[in-house]
């Protein structure tokens, strides 16, 4: 099969056969007697990172590829893949990073379709094109944009409905932002949300199948999203140290538990996709481990507030974090991801 044909084959049967091969290999690997430990790989591990703005770490400066259209991905030079790679190197686990194709704004389908960049800046090849036959590890986060989390935030905020760099429109602009909690729990808003979560599920299944097809020997690690809203939402009524805006700006407090529940549902869908993947995939449950580092945790926050100034600057103006991990949050991502990678490679 030619390289060009291999990159465009989408036959479900072919993918399932490849996945079955992986499953057989996994079963054989599990036949090793319990308690038998294996050392970290002596040779560099060919690795591909993929994903959206949470893998690219939008908001952290400086940005890579500023001399090309990929600069519009806002991928930080020190994003969590880069930091995790360094952490692993300190433990004598070497990743041979074949590519980091994470890009802000990426939908799950941009794993297999081209991604159009903002402001007519061009388009990027499907992220799956970075995979090679010898790729042994794939790591990344996707699903939030397919869910439409930006649209959900805009549904709940008059401030975010104003023109900004944050893409998307509210789910229903005719519905008041102040009533968004009820909107997503009843009627058409609930139906929209249920449909979006279903789409996230099947698209992640497709993504993991495609990794299994194009990189048959690759271990697959799907990374969840860090928790945005704390259990105690009264903490969100106080601005972080040095800030004047509340962490979630004008989103009403009674809508914050609804946003948290939506994120938990997304996390559950991602976890299920990894668990059900043919041949097996790993899941890094960041939601479960970041409850004390939400956007409302003051000096301990790992998430930059919606309208808090990030490290990025465009045309002399600081760009808001729009609820993305700050440097502390990036380091938490890197710590959890590197631990999972080490665990996977040491089996």
- For residue 294, whether the previous peptide bond is cis, meaning omega lies within 30 degrees of 0, is no
Task: Give catalytic status of residue 65 as yes or no.
Answer: no
Give the span between the Cα atoms of 85 and 94, in whole angstroms. 7
How many residues would you count in the chain?
347
Task: Give catalytic status of residue 181 as yes or no.
Answer: no
> Which residue bears the tokens 């059900």?
276
- Secondary structure (3-state) at 49: strand
102 in Cβ contact with 52 (< 8 Å)? yes
Residue of 53, 79, 267, 293 marked catalytic: 53
Residue of 57, 145, 150, 203 marked catalytic: 145
Residue of 51, 267, 324, 338 marked catalytic: 324
Is 174 exposed, middle or buried (CB count within 10 Å of its CB: 0-12, 13-18, 19+)? exposed
140 in Cβ contact with 51 (< 8 Å)? yes
- Secondary structure (3-state) at 317: strand
Enumerate long-range contacts of 210-213, CB under 8 Å, 24 or more apart: 210/15, 210/111, 210/112, 210/128, 211/128, 211/131, 211/138, 212/15, 212/18, 212/19, 212/22, 212/277, 212/278, 212/279, 213/9, 213/14, 213/15, 213/18, 213/19
Residue of 51, 59, 105, 148 marked catalytic: 105
DSSP string, 167-212: ----S-TTS-GGGHHHHHHSHHHHHHHHHHHHHHHHHHHHHHHHHH
Task: Give catalytic status of residue 338 as yes or no.
Answer: no
Give the span between the Cα atoms of 317 and 312, in whole angstroms. 8
Task: Give catalytic status of residue 298 as yes or no.
Answer: no
- Secondary structure (3-state) at 28: helix
The alpha carbon torsion through 142, 144, 145, 148 (nearest 10 deg) reads: 160
Catalytically active residues are 53, 105, 145, 324
């Amino acid at each position: 099969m030619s390289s060009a044909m291999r990159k465009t084959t989408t036959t479900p049967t072919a993918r399932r056969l490849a996945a079955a091969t992986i499953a057989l290999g996994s079963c054989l690997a599990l036949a090793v007697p319990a308690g038998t430990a294996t050392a970290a790989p002596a040779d560099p591990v060919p690795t591909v990172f993929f994903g959206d703005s949470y893998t690219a770490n939008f908001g952290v400066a400086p940005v890579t590829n500023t001399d090309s259209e990929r600069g519009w991905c806002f991928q930080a030079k020190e994003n969590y893949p880069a930091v995790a790679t360094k952490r692993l190197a300190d433990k004598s686990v070497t990743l041979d990073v074949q590519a980091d194709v994470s890009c802000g704004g990426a939908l799950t389908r941009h794993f297999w379709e081209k991604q159009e960049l903002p402001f007519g800046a061009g388009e990027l090849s499907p992220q799956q094109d970075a995979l090679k036959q010898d790729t042994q590890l794939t790591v990344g986060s996707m699903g939030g944009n397919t869910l439409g989390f930006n649209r959900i935030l805009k549904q709940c905020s008059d401030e975010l409905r104003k023109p900004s760099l944050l893409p998307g429109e509210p789910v229903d602009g005719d519905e008041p932002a102040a009533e968004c909690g009820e909107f997503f729990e009843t009627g058409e808003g609930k139906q929209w949300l249920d449909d979006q979560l279903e789409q996230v599920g099947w698209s992640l299944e497709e993504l993991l199948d495609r990794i299994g097809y194009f990189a048959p020997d690759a271990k697959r690690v799907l990374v969840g999203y860090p928790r945005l809203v704390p259990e105690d939402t009264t903490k969100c009524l106080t601005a972080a140290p040095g800030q004047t805006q509340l962490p979630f700006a004008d989103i009403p407090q009674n809508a914050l538990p609804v946003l948290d529940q939506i994120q938990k549902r997304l996390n559950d869908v991602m976890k299920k996709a990894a668990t059900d993947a043919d041949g097996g995939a790993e899941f890094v449950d960041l939601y479960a481990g970041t409850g004390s580092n939400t956007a409302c945790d003051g000096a301990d926050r790992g998430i930059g507030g919606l309208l808090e100034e990030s490290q990025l600057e465009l045309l002399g103006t600081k760009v808001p974090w729009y609820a993305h991990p700050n440097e502390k949050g990036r380091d938490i991502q890197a710590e959890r991801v590197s631990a999972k990678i080490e665990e996977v490679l040491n089996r």
